[in-house]
Amino acid sequence: MSIRKKGYFSKRDNTSKKNYDSLIDNISPFKSRTNKHLKNTIAKYYQ
């Protein structure tokens, strides 16, 4: 998120922000699939 704070994206350029958000979603470890996996493993350890 620091890239946007530094101002590489202008406020008018919504498409690059959307692309950046999708890129962050793709490389982030907290995808919905991995998030379910993490929740399941945490639930196993706390049973």
Q: Kindly tell me if the per-residue pLDDT of 46 is higher than 60.
A: yes
Q: Does residue 16 contact residue 9 with C-beta atoms inside 8 Å?
A: yes
Specify the pTM.
0.26
Cα 38–31–16 angle (5° rounding)? 160
Q: Where are the domains of the chain?
A: 9-45
| pLDDT digit string, tens, across residues 3-19 | 555 555 555 555 555 66
